[in-house]
């Protein structure tokens, strides 16, 4: 049975209290018991108690799968990106390095990339994933778009992300304040970019004296 189309995942880091319930609950997921696929970090504990839970965003066109040389990362028809297939995964780490959200983890003991599969054992039978079930602040929430709109009138769900020249659309939504002009979370717009790559080369040529000038 596919994951019901109406049910979606919503992440709202502003609500996160860093309690670790999602991480603990993730370890209870039937497909990877004892191991959590969620990364929960303090952004800067010295300055703030702010924490950020990272789950797989389940990209429509997943970078992890695109860079996989062994074609080990599959997506279900209902758009859930799965852990690498054990017989195919060569533990090359390409996916770990390539994912712009930093989600896949290499389980070196098993020689296998593992990641969040949105509790496929639960969501494919209409249940909520473990993390979104337990999350006491509902920073991780699972339900319909209409429910979310009714519960959170001051936020909107965004699922397009810009990483440099790469635009990603995801199955999982990020909640952002309603009254802002951004229609996507543009990482590069907020970046201080050091002079590397193409820019650096241009600088080098600019500084090279043109023959005949001297």
Partner 1 sequence: MSRDLPTPPLELETLQAFGPHRSYSDGIRVDSGVVPDKLVKTHCCFCGQQCGMQLKVKDNAVIGVEPWYEFPFNRGMMCPKGVKRYLQQGHPDRLLHAYQKAPDAPGGFRELPYEEAIRKVASEIDRIQREHGPNAFGILSGASLTTEKTYLMGKFAHMCLKTSHIDYNGRLCMVSAGAGNKKAFGVDRAANPWTDILGAEVVLIAGSNVAECSPITTNYVWQAREQGAKVIVIDPRITPIARTCDLYLPVKPGRDTALFNGILHLMIENDWLDHAFIDAHTVGFEKVAQEVKPWTPRRTAEVTGIAEKSIRTAAEWWGKAKTSFLMHARGIEHHSNGVMNVLSTINIVLASGRLGKPNCGYGTITGQANGQGGREHGQKAEQLPGGRDLGNPEHRAEVAALWGMKPEELPQPGVDAYELMRKAHQGELKGMLSICFNPVVSLPDNNFVREALEKLEFFATIDFFLSETSRCADIVLPGSLQEEDEGTVTQVEGRIIKINAAVSPPGEARQDWKIIQDIARALGREKGMTFQSPREIFDELRVLTKGAVIDYSGVTYERIEENFGVFWPCPSEVPEGVPLPGPQGTVRLFEPDAWNPVAKGKGPFYFADGKARFNVTPYKGPTEDVDAEYPHILTTGRVVSQFLSGNQTRRIGPLVDYYPEPKLELHPRLAKSLGIADGDWVTAESRRGTCTVRAAVVETIRPDTVFLPYHWGGRKSANQLTISAQDPISKIPEYKVCAVRVRKAEAPPEYAQKLEPQQ
For partner 1, the binding residues (CB under 8 A) are 14-21, 23-25, 27-28, 30-31, 33-34, 45-51, 128, 130, 133-138, 151-155
Q: Who's near 33: CB < 8 A, 6+ residues apart?
A: 27
55 SS3 class:
coil
Q: How far is the CB of 176 from partner 1 (least distance, A)?
A: 14
Alpha-carbon gap, residue 83 to 61, rounded angstroms: 15
Q: Is the dihedral of CA 40, 139, 47, 159 positive or negative?
A: positive
Q: How far is the CB of 101 from partner 1 (least distance, A)?
A: 23
Q: How far is the CB of 25 from partner 1 (least distance, A)?
A: 5
Please identify, using beta-carbon distances, which residue of 25 and 68 lies nearer to partner 1. 25
Please identify, using beta-carbon distances, which residue of 5 and 44 lies nearer to partner 1. 44
Backbone angles phi, psi at 93, to 5 degrees: 80, 0
DSSP state of 15: G
* Percent helix, strand and coil across the chain, each to the nearest 5: 20, 25, 55
How many CB atoms neighbour CB 141 within 10 A? 23
Please identify, using beta-carbon distances, which residue of 111 and 136 lies nearer to partner 1. 136
Please identify, using beta-carbon distances, which residue of 130 and 168 lies nearer to partner 1. 130
Q: How far is the CB of 153 from partner 1 (least distance, A)?
A: 7
Q: How far is the CB of 93 from partner 1 (least distance, A)?
A: 25
Please identify, using beta-carbon distances, which residue of 180 and 198 lies nearer to partner 1. 180
Q: H/E element holding 150?
A: helix 145-151
Please compute Rg for the chain using Cα positions.
20
Q: How far is the CB of 29 from partner 1 (least distance, A)?
A: 10
Please identify, using beta-carbon distances, which residue of 25 and 168 lies nearer to partner 1. 25
Q: Who's near 169: CB < 8 A, 6+ residues apart?
A: 59, 60, 61, 159, 160, 161
């Amino acid at each position: 049975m596919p994951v019901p189309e109406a049910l979606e995942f919503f992440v709202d880091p502003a609500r996160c209290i860093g309690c670790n319930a999602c991480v603990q609950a993730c370890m209870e997921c039937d497909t990877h018991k004892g191991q959590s696929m969620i990364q929960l970090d303090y952004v800067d504990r010295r300055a703030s108690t702010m924490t950020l839970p990272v789950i797989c965003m389940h990209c429509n066109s997943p970078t992890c799968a695109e860079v996989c040389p062994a074609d080990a990362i599959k997506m279900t028809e209902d758009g859930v990106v799965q852990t690498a297939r054990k017989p195919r995964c060569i533990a090359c780490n390409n996916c770990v390095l390539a994912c712009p959200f930093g989600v896949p983890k290499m389980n070196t003991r098993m020689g296998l990339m593992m990641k969040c599969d949105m509790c496929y054992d639960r969501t494919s039978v209409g249940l909520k994933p473990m993390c979104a079930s337990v999350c006491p602040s509902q920073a991780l929430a699972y339900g319909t778009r209409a429910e979310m709109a009714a519960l959170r009138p001051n936020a909107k769900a965004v699922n397009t992300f810009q990483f440099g020249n790469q635009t990603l659309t995801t199955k999982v939504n990020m909640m952002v304040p309603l009254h802002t002009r951004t229609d996507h979370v543009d990482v590069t717009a907020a970046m201080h970019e050091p002079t590397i790559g193409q820019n650096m080369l241009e600088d080098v040529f600019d500084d090279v004296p043109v023959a005949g000038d001297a």
